[in-house]
Amino acid sequence: MSTRFTKDHEWIRVEGEEGVMGITAYAAEQLGDVVFVELPEVGKTVAQGDELAVVESVKAASEVYAPVSGEIIEVNSALEDAPATVNEAPQGEGWFVKIKLSDKAQLDAMMDDAAYAEHTK
Amino acid sequence: MAMNTQGRPSAPLHTPDPGAYDDTFSGSRGLDQAEPLIFERQTYDKTGVDFETPKGTKSRLGALERTEDLGLPGLSEPEAMRHYVRLSRKNYAIDIGLYPLGSCTMKHNPRLNEKMARLPGFSDVHPLQPQSTVQGAFELIGELAHWLMTLTNMPTVAMSPKAGAHGELCGMMAIRAALDARGESHRRRVLVPESAHGTNPATAVQCGFFCDEIPAGPDGRVDMEAFKAKLGDDVAAIMLTNPNTCGLFERDIRAIADAIHEAGGYFYCDGANFNAISGRVRPGDLGVDAMHFNLHKTYSTPHGGGGPGAGPTVLSEALAKFAPLPFVIKEGDSWRMVEDEADARAQGAQPFGRMVAFHGQMGMFTRAMSYMLSHGADGLKQASEDAVLNANYILARLKDVMTPSFDGLCMHEALFDDRFLKDTGVTTLDFAKAMIDEGYHPMTMYFPLVVHGAMLIEPTESESKASVDRFCDTLEALAHAAKAGETERFTAAPRFAPAKRLDETRAARQPVLRWTPAASEA
């Protein structure tokens, strides 16, 4: 399945029941150099729109929201020592968490590539 | 006549080639001295004061006696003096030039304040000396409290908080105590507008609340509909800055106060921008329940010039009895400090606790009192009016070359964003660094977060028209240069500062917070 986007600049890529998510290239560019990422505990259950992580750049600290509801099954702890990865590969190596989705229908209302590109114009 | 060719030439013999020899052997540049950290000097063999080695005392430390040197830097008195004076010359200060740091109110600190603060009855008192010997200091605290309560039309002021954020903490702790006393400890949600100072949400969370952000409307003020939609029986308070950090007066403040009270919550007002309205608006009339002052901004002594800050916090009738210990009261002709809870309860108070070991900052109290008495009620009002006038003058002069974020007049600070730099290759950061080359401390940048690439300029009333004009001329010229494609002027800035462009990212990712000696000398 292709990548989906929120209006708050999170992306999520779902395979089966699991999704991997992070912040978009546009968000990383706007934030500037990321210096710190605070990730949730594995096992935590989140609802769509809940505060999921905090990303701190030279400019500001920003909340990252859960794009979908579900359970956190893995976090990218490599970001703790290498927050720059978020700038280098925001939609690849710089992923934040993996979520086990509780409601896949939530994805339907989210933006696809083209719609997100339009959103950030 | 005989030409004397032996004397000193009075004109340059040749025009030096600019760019040649742009380094020096000593590391100093002109009369601007290179100066290492005091520990980097690596000299331990000197001292400014010689004490004789004590005789006839026997050490009882046994094995605990220190065997190694302390490793304290050794400097003679002139070296110590030079060290700090040299460092101070690398600093920028309100006594050197205009300091347009928005939301910081960097105003001139009248020298009279310093004279008053150094009076021995204020400067040489010890917090533990008998109360009967510090009656004058107590009276000054009481008199200053009277002024602060009068300026705000509030019944109580807690004098002990030591800075703005500490004052916020005081106000929010009073709010929590009041909620607990009402049996409504479940109220934990605090509404905070998105343009708030970062300390507001931090304070709320520190007090055990959690924050809910209120979006700003297109006019830069609180979106009333969004605010009302967030009210509920779990709301503890709203924390609002007025004027807000966009330099705009929250026109709906009365309606906001009524709505939060109706919902059972309290109204915390961040008084950081009180310099815009001091003597003109009384927060008590607006329905505010708690507000801190930044004595060290609004009433001079910016950014701890000469000492730490002070954040007295006024409290409404609903919160007054929860004010923290200690506080001074007048009994007959004498003053007394109420220090313990039983004593406070006998006075009808229910203090939520104590925030400081002793009392507030006597030095700040004295400076603020001196500032207030020398200005008078009319002078304080005039100062606010002039501060607002200066900011609007800047807004008017620069609105065609830079891009103001909101239409209409501003209060004490003018907010611009980076739309005028679009496609120039120059960012807000570059623009700010170029200001350093021009001899100005940059304005507040990238704050508030509600506009893109924010530049927040607060001139204060300290600046004359000539000074503001010179500043505007400079910004105007910089804006034109950016648009004319002189990108290098900005991206290479600061070119003339003691330190060039610093790597802020590396400083944040790999902070070096402590100096450690090189391994070989450790």
CB contacts of A33 in chain B (<8 Å) are: 504-505, 508-509
CB contacts of A35 in chain B (<8 Å) are: 505, 508-509
Cβ–Cβ gap A58/B508 under 8 Å:
yes
Q: Mean pLDDT in each 10-residue stretch from start to end of chain A (121 residues)?
A: 89 93 94 92 94 89 92 95 94 95 92 92 84
Q: Classify residue B105 as left (phi > 0), alpha (psi -120 to 50) or beta.
A: left
Has residue B522 got a pLDDT over 50?
Answer: no
Alpha carbon B338 to its chain centroid, in Å, reads 29
Please state the three-class secondary structure of B122-162 as a single string: HHCCCCCCCHHHCHHHHHHHHHHHHHHHHHHCCCEEECCCC
Has residue B521 got a pLDDT over 50?
Answer: no
Average pLDDT over residues B198-222: 93
For A57, nearest residue in chain B (alpha carbons): B505
Phi, psi of B296 (to 5 degrees): -80, 5
What are the structure tokens assigned to B116, written together?
């008053």
pLDDT band at B482 (very low <50, low <70, confident <90, very high): very high
Has residue B220 got a pLDDT over 60?
Answer: yes
pLDDT tens digits, B426-448: 999 999 999 999 999 999 999 89
For A35, nearest residue in chain B (alpha carbons): B509
Q: How far is B273 from chain A (nearest CA, A)?
A: 22
Q: Classify the complex by whether its ipTM is higher than 0.85, answering yes or no.
A: no
For B452, nearest residue in chain A (alpha carbons): A30
Written as one string, the DSSP assignment of B224-241 is HHHHHHH--TTEEEEEEE
Q: The whole model's pTM is what? A: 0.87
Domains and CATH numbers, chain A: 3-103 (2.40.50.100)
Which amino acid is it at B75? L
pLDDT number for residue B4: 63
Which amino acid is it at B223? D
Whether omega before B215 lies within 30 degrees of 0, making that bond cis, reads: no
- Contacts of B41-47 with CB under 8 Å at 24 or more apart are B41/B73, B41/B75, B42/B517, B42/B521, B43/B73, B43/B74, B43/B75, B44/B69, B44/B71, B44/B72, B44/B73, B44/B74, B45/B74, B46/B74, B46/B75, B46/B76, B46/B79, B47/B74, B47/B75, B47/B76
Cβ–Cβ gap A60/B449 under 8 Å:
yes
Query: Which residues of B lie inside 8 Å of A (Cβ-Cβ)?
Result: 446, 449, 504-505, 508-509
CATH topology of domain B377-499: Aspartate Aminotransferase, domain 1 (3.90.1150)
> What 3-state DSSP class applies to B330?
strand
CB contacts of B505 in chain A (<8 Å) are: 33, 35, 58
Q: Are A104 and A84 in contact (CB under 8 A)?
A: no
CB contacts of B446 in chain A (<8 Å) are: 59-60
pLDDT number for residue B5: 65
Q: How far is A39 from chain B (nearest CA, A)?
A: 17
Best A33, A37, A54, A85 member to test B by mutation, with max B CBs in 10 Å, is A33
Query: Which residues of A lie inside 8 Å of B (Cβ-Cβ)?
Result: 33, 35-36, 56, 58-60, 83-84
Cβ–Cβ gap B505/A58 under 8 Å:
yes
Q: How far is A16 from chain B (nearest CA, A)?
A: 34
Architecture of the CATH domain B112-371: 3-Layer(aba) Sandwich (3.40)
Q: Are A11 and A86 in contact (CB under 8 A)?
A: no
Is residue A45 within a helix (H) or strand (E), and if so which, with residue range? Answer: strand A45-46
Fold: same for B112-371 and B377-499: no
Cβ–Cβ gap A84/B509 under 8 Å:
yes
What are the boundaries of each domain within chain B? Answer: 112-371, 377-499
Has residue B307 got a pLDDT over 60?
Answer: no
CB contacts of A63 in chain B (<8 Å) are: none
Percentage of chain B lying above the pLDDT 90 cut: 72
Cβ–Cβ gap A35/B508 under 8 Å:
yes
CB contacts of B508 in chain A (<8 Å) are: 33, 35-36, 56, 58
Out of B446, B504, B509, the one facing A83 most closely (by C-beta) is: B509
Mean of the per-residue pLDDT values for chain B? 91
CB contacts of B509 in chain A (<8 Å) are: 33, 35, 83-84
Has residue B13 got a pLDDT over 70?
Answer: no
Q: Quote the CA–CA distance of B177 and B313 in Å, as a whole number.
A: 15
Q: How far is B470 from chain A (nearest CA, A)?
A: 29
